[in-house]
């Protein structure tokens, strides 16, 4: 009979290989051979182009304009970039006078034109420079606030206009020969033909640009000069095709009720990266999910079958539940991605269940809430645990109190609730290393690691090393990066203790515990048998 872990590993590997091959076909499509039935590019890599930025006086004009020249009487603002080669790109900055009328979506439409050096318009796109989003949540010093900052300024239900301060135009820079009868569906509407072949392909979608390219407008006065950056950037065929596919997927996700924040998180995983880093990201993402599931499964299996909790630090379990709960609430307060929040929520529930197992808590309609009595050996473990924790508290409490006071005086926060959460989260990150050490101390005093769920810990260790990879390719707070390296250090110490105190399955420690079996479960031997064995 196949083990579940082997089956899941095979499925995950197969999914990764299939996804990698699909991505390869997206980035490197099969080239059409010959001249019959093939579409070739009607441009060369060293051809010169420029981009026209046109705003019009009337709302209807922008819709009516096609690829032809615009009448001078309709033009309100006309800016053109310097001549450039597609492979080089160009960046142009110019000022735009802000008007309150930009709050009207129709009056903020502009027309972009890709023009040859001879003045021939080869591509044209209509772009909206203003969109409506949730306002940026502002922070303030809670002690010096004079009351002028009220809760209405942070009302997330009312949308405010955002100005596109950087407009990015992606231009295909790699010549690809298409089959006339096999053009990718997502690229078909962007390909314009001429007698010589297809014209340069451009992709413009402000909604798929990062939040740093948008500027909130509600604080700007009338007739304020806004700087806009027009950036024409070369892009590979795979990059443009992937953007088109994700655009269609994003529209489907919106119809399912997913918010823009989560859609942007998905977008950020696939875009703004090269093919090899994308494949690496897919690999670690798939196996991160696999190891997460196996760690949860083995952790639950260990605690469900454990006869007692001798040698396991109750304070470490309490700390893990408390820290998981605080981090989950912090992620929820910061409106983090569901890709991060949901696994943390599941982990919090599991830690709560483990805490109930440690305290032997039972709930029934007849007896209500009942706390079980811990055995003599378990109480001995608690005494060793309390001895080490007492010394840790002498270090932790002054540092936590001092850090929270400093944060309150010198750093801005959105609310008192936000300050409390941020203070506790910083305490979790900064002093989590200290509160993970009681279990190491118990292992040292018992001269044994037989009581630990090594399978679950191994899967968690793999995930920790994967988190290290994400810590350097994904934008995140520095404290979270340090926390990833902290977990590496703890696991390396666990490995050293396992080497120092090798598990002999025929030998039991002073509490009658032997090594774990194939399922990662530590077994308990009767006291009489333990005495004979020793």
Per-residue pLDDT tens over the stretch 298-355: 778 777 776 666 666 677 777 778 878 887 887 777 666 666 677 788 888 888 888 8
| Mean pLDDT for the stretch of residues 95-105 | 59
At 468, is the pLDDT very low, low, confident or very high (cuts 50, 70, 90)? Answer: low
Q: Among 140-149, 195-204, 312-321, 470-479, which range has the highest average pLDDT?
A: 195-204
* CA distances to 315, 324, 477 from 235, in Å: 54, 41, 30
> Which pLDDT score, from 0 to 100, does residue 532 have?
41
Phi-psi category of 89—alpha, beta or left, where left has phi over 0 and alpha has psi -120 to 50?
left
Question: What percent of the residues of the chain are helix, what percent strand, and what percent coil, each to the nearest 5?
Answer: 50, 20, 30
Percent of the chain with pLDDT over 70: 63
Residue 149 or 174, more confident: 174
Give me the numbers of helices (H) and strands (E) for the chain, helices first please.
14, 18
| Mean pLDDT for the stretch of residues 69-94 | 77
| Mean pLDDT for the stretch of residues 441-451 | 71
3-state secondary structure of 288: helix
Q: What is the DSSP letter of 413?
A: B
- Give residues with Cβ within 8 angstroms of 437, minimum separation 6: 388, 392, 490
Tokens 């808590």, located at residue = 361
- Give residues with Cβ within 8 angstroms of 158, minimum separation 6: 135
> Do 470 and 347 contact (CB within 8 A), yes or no?
no
d(CA 382, CA 25): 59
At 49, is the pLDDT very low, low, confident or very high (cuts 50, 70, 90)? Answer: very high
- Give residues with Cβ within 8 angstroms of 308, minimum separation 6: 375, 377, 378, 524
In the predicted structure, residue 17 carries a pLDDT above the cut 90: yes
Per-residue pLDDT tens over the stretch 451-460: 666 665 666 6
Percent of the chain with pLDDT over 90: 5
d(CA 316, CA 410): 32
- Give residues with Cβ within 8 angstroms of 205, minimum separation 6: 243, 247
Residue 524 or 500, more confident: 500
In the predicted structure, residue 170 carries a pLDDT above the cut 90: yes
> Quick one: 297 exposed, middle or buried, by C-beta within 10 A (0-12, 13-18, 19+)?
middle
Residue 108 or 344, more confident: 344
> Do 466 and 282 contact (CB within 8 A), yes or no?
no
**121-128/109-116 β-pairing:** antiparallel
* CA distances to 109, 132, 524, 533 from 163, in Å: 12, 9, 66, 76
In the predicted structure, residue 147 carries a pLDDT above the cut 60: no
d(CA 274, CA 279): 9
Q: Report the chain's mean pLDDT, rounded to a whole number.
A: 73
**225-235/361-364 β-pairing:** unpaired
d(CA 345, CA 347): 5
> Do 317 and 341 contact (CB within 8 A), yes or no?
no
DSSP secondary structure string for all residues of 78-138? EEEPPPEETTT-EEEEEEEE--GGGGSSGGGEEEEEEEETTS-EEEEEEEESEEEEPPPPP
| Mean pLDDT for the stretch of residues 95-116 | 69
In the predicted structure, residue 133 carries a pLDDT above the cut 90: no
> Which pLDDT score, from 0 to 100, does residue 159 have?
78
> Do 190 and 203 contact (CB within 8 A), yes or no?
yes
DSSP secondary structure string for all residues of 462-491? HHHHHHHHHHHHS---HHHHHHHHHHHHHH
Per-residue pLDDT tens over the stretch 177-222: 888 888 888 888 888 888 888 899 999 988 888 878 888 876 555 5
> Which pLDDT score, from 0 to 100, does residue 152 have?
45
Per-residue pLDDT tens over the stretch 407-438: 788 777 777 777 787 777 777 766 666 666 66
């Amino acid at each position: 009979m196949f083990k579940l872990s082997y089956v899941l590993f095979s499925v995950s590997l197969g999914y990764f290989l299939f996804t990698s091959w699909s991505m390869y076909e997206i980035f490197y499509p099969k080239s059409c051979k010959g001249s019959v039935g093939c579409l070739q590019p009607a441009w060369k890599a060293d051809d010169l182009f420029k981009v026209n930025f046109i705003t019009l006086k009337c709302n209807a004009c922008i819709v009516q304009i096609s690829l032809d020249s615009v009448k001078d009487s309709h033009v309100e603002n006309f800016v053109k970039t310097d001549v450039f080669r597609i492979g080089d790109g160009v960046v142009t900055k110019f000022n735009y006078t802000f008007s309150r009328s930009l709050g009207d979506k129709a009056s903020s439409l502009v027309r972009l034109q890709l023009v040859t050096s001879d003045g021939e318009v080869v591509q044209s796109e209509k772009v909206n420079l203003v969109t409506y989003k949730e306002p940026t949540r502002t922070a303030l010093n809670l002690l010096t606030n004079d009351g002028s900052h009220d809760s209405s300024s942070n009302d997330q239900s009312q949308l405010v206009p955002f100005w596109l301060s950087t407009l990015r135009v992606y231009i295909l820079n790699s010549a690809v020969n298409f089959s006339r009868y096999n053009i990718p569906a997502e690229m078909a509407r962007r390909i314009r033909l001429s007698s010589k072949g297809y014209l340069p392909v451009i992709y413009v979608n402000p909604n798929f640009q990062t939040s740093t390219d948008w500027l909130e407008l509600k604080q700007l006065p009338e007739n304020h000069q806004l700087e806009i950056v027009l950036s024409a950037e070369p892009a590979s065929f795979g990059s443009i095709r992937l953007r088109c596919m994700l655009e269609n997927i994003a529209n489907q996700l919106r119809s399912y009720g997913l918010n823009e924040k989560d859609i942007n998180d998905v977008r950020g995983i696939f875009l703004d990266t090269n093919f090899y880093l994308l494949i690496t990201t897919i690999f670690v993402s798939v196996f991160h999910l696999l190891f997460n599931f196996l760690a949860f499964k083995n952790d639950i299996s260990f605690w469900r079958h454990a006869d007692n909790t001798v040698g396991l630090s109750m304070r470490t379990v309490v700390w893990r539940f408390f820290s998981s709960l605080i981090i989950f609430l912090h992620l929820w307060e910061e409106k983090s991605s569901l890709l991060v929040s949901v696994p943390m929520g599941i982990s919090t529930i599991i830690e709560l269940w483990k805490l109930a197992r440690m305290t032997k808590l039972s709930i029934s309609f007849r007896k209500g809430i009942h706390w079980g009595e811990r055995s003599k050996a378990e109480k001995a473990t608690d005494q060793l645990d309390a001895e080490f924790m007492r010394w840790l508290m002498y270090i932790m409490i002054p540092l936590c109190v001092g850090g929270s006071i400093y944060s309150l005086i010198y750093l801005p926060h959105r609310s008192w609730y936000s300050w409390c959460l941020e203070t506790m989260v910083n305490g979790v990150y900064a002093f989590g290393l200290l509160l993970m050490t009681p279990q190491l101390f118990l292992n040292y005093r018992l001269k044994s690691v037989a009581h630990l769920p090594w399978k679950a810990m191994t899967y968690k260790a793999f995930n920790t090393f994967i988190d290290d990879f994400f810590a350097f390719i994904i934008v995140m707070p520095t404290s979270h990066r340090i926390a990833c390296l902290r977990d590496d250090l703890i696991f390396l110490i666990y490995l050293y203790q396992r080497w120092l105190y090798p598990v002999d399955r025929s030998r039991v420690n002073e509490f009658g515990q032997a090594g774990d079996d194939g399922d990662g479960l530590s077994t308990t031997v009767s006291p009489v048998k333990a005495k004979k064995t020793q």
